Amino acid sequence: ANTLLGDTIARVGGDPVRKLARSDRLVGAALFCLENGVNPNILIKTIPLGFTFRPEGDPSAKDIQSFMAEHTLAEALEKFCSLSQEEPLYSLILKEIHG
């Protein structure tokens, strides 16, 4: 967030369902990197954090938190990011979290 621009963390991280979607800025960018031989290390570290972001009054974040209360990160990657277990990005994200 850039405070000089009035950019808040809530705005930057808001609507995590959209921002974690396969074609949007986090997963989409990571997939693009992998397709072009670029290491998406920072994105691999950032994507799981999107599932923990809880800005007040964000219904999208509440949807994720409700899902995460009963499901694993692996299931969330499938549901919200449309990643399959066969994809390298799926494995890279889980490896980042679980070692």
In tens, the pLDDT along 33-44 reads 999 999 999 999
Residue 42, pLDDT score? 97
Q: Which pLDDT score, from 0 to 100, does residue 45 have?
A: 97
Range of the domain at 46: 3-98
- pLDDT averaged over every residue in the chain: 91
Which residue stretches of the chain are H helix? Answer: 9-13, 16-19, 27-35, 41-50, 59-68, 73-81, 88-98
Domain count, the chain: 1
* pLDDT confidence tier of residue 53, bands split at 50, 70 and 90: confident
Rounded distance, CA 72 to CA 76, Å?
A: 6
d(CA 44, CA 91): 10
Listed in sequence order, the residues at least 6 apart from 6 whose beta carbon sits closer than 8 Å to its beta carbon are none
Q: How confident is the model at residue 99 (pLDDT cuts 50, 70, 90)?
A: confident
Instruction: Choose between 56 and 9: higher pLDDT.
Output: 56
Q: What is the CATH number of the domain that holds 48?
A: 1.10.1040.10
